[in-house]
Amino acid sequence: MSGFFATFCKELLLIRRDRAGLMLLFIMPAVLVLVVSLVQNNLLETSGTAVPVLLVDEDGGELAKRLTDGLQELGALTLVRQDGDPLDATAAQDAVRGGDYQFAIVIPPGLTEEVRSRARQLAEQSLAGEGAAAEPPLATAELAVYFDPTVQGAFRTAVLSSLRLVVLGLETEEKGKVLAELLPQRIEKLLPALPFGFGTPRPQLSFHWNSEPVLAVREQVALAGGLTKLPTAVQQNVPAWALFGMFFIVIPLSGTLLRERQEGTLQRLRTLPVSPLAILAGKVAAYVLICLGQFGFMLLVGKTVLPLLGTPMLEIGSEPGAIFFLALSAALAATGFGILVGALVGSYEQATMVGSVAVVVAAALGGVMVPVYVMPQAMQAISLFSPLAWGLNGFLDLFVRGGDLISVLPNAFGLLAFFAVTLTLAWIGFLQRNRRGG
């Protein structure tokens, strides 16, 4: 019992002396809880922040205004308009394809007129009764909804449902209005036909008009290069979790660096007639290779194992060179982060905690667990700084949006810049430690 108590007290004393460790033990989990809770807030709340949708009104008529008002009143969507220089349908599609928006609703020119004409035609046909000679039908006006192929089904359904609800209301209102206008006219027309004014005139109504739409919703994936396939969960999850795994290299890498420092190996290495950059480069290369191996393995799982479990096979697009370049950039970023953690921490426990918590936070912010577009605005702004977000966005661009090397360059350069910054900070930390003789 005395051994237990002595050990218990000793451990408490050790923990108390390790201020950095204490910070990690208490502050880091708090940060993790905060970030993950904020990120997932919108998913779990029924009245959370509305999904932002780009609205392009090329009609400008009364119906377009009522449609817009109806969507705003519904509150499920946040309509974003380009006020200064209004966009057209092509520009809206480009904005979605480029990832600036996840959805765009385009109200085509002449929609108000088309809806009303069609409603009038349908009403007239209805009043003409069954068997009356039908005019050739007018075209049904169409609202176009463009969506990012990476958008998950639940969010797509939410946007379409909101839109269809408002459209149904508008349609009923318009049909009702026209019918209210034409029905009395029809009754008046029928009155003289009745002998001696007996009976009630009964216009022959066809209810066919009720099922005929006057305003349709056309959903379209904003794909580049004529791709027509919708993305699968596999295409989202494989790169997302592959990146997550690659960044977890931080734990073995920082642990290795720490051991080298603590066990005197680094001291020995520094007395050898070899450039420290060569040693560093060798280390980086080894871990980058491991990261690439991880990534390749994940792709292989997506291609061969997941289909056996009933999921669609992973489609990776047609740009293997761009995929390799982006994976290499991500591997370098992960390795740079591992080296930074290894250079700054003072114990293996710190390395493990800092590494794992930082990666989980970066993954949550980067859209690995929850899509970035459903996060609150503040979290979306923070997510711009997550290297996992850059990597994931790049891979989705290649796998899903039909992107190429040029389109993923910004993401790849972001990752390479992250590698350069982490390596520089690690080097500064290393030099400072040497100056202190640590």
Partner 1 sequence: MNSTVVHSGPPADPLPDFQPLAVDGCEAVVLQVQQLVKSYGRGGRPAVDGLTFDVQEGEAFGLLGPNGAGKTTAISVMCTLLRPTAGSVHLDGIDVQAEPGRVRRLLGLVPQEIALYPRLTGRENLRYFARLYGLKGLELEERVADALELVQLQEHADRPVNSYSGGMKRRANLAAGMLHQPRILFLDEPTVGIDAQSRNLILDSLSRLRQAGTTLVYTTHYMEEAQQLCNRVAIMDGGRIIAEGEPAALIAGRAGCANLEQLFLQLTGSHLRDD
Residues forming contacts to partner 1 in the complex (CB under 8 A) are 262-265, 267-274, 279, 434, 436-437
Q: Give bridge partners of residue 53 from the DSSP assignment.
A: 79
Tokens 């974003």 locate to: 80
Q: How many CB atoms lie within 10 A of CB 123?
A: 24
Please report how close the Cβ of residue 385 comes to partner 1 at its closest, in angstroms: 34
The closest of 404, 405, 408 to 390, measured between CA atoms, is 408
Please report how close the Cβ of residue 432 comes to partner 1 at its closest, in angstroms: 12
Please report how close the Cβ of residue 264 comes to partner 1 at its closest, in angstroms: 3
Please report how close the Cβ of residue 341 comes to partner 1 at its closest, in angstroms: 20
Please say which residue, 164 or 433, places its beta carbon nearer to partner 1.
433
Please report how close the Cβ of residue 249 comes to partner 1 at its closest, in angstroms: 17
Q: Give bridge partners of residue 146 from the DSSP assignment.
A: 104, 220
Task: Determine the Cα–Cα distance for residues 216 and 234; give it in Å rounded to an integer.
Answer: 31
Q: Count the alpha carbons within 13 Å of 365 in the hemisphere toward its beta carbon.
A: 23
Please say which residue, 138 or 279, places its beta carbon nearer to partner 1.
279
Task: Determine the Cα–Cα distance for residues 85 and 239; give it in Å rounded to an integer.
Answer: 36
Please report how close the Cβ of residue 346 comes to partner 1 at its closest, in angstroms: 16
Tokens 């479990």 locate to: 309
Please report how close the Cβ of residue 259 comes to partner 1 at its closest, in angstroms: 8
The closest of 374, 339, 373, 377 to 355, measured between CA atoms, is 339
Please say which residue, 90 or 262, places its beta carbon nearer to partner 1.
262
The edge-to-edge listing of strands for the beta sheet with 77-81 is 77-81, 51-57, 103-107, 141-147, 215-221
Please say which residue, 185 or 265, places its beta carbon nearer to partner 1.
265
Please say which residue, 162 or 256, places its beta carbon nearer to partner 1.
256
Cβ atoms of 374 and 155 within 8 Å: the answer is yes
Please report how close the Cβ of residue 279 comes to partner 1 at its closest, in angstroms: 8
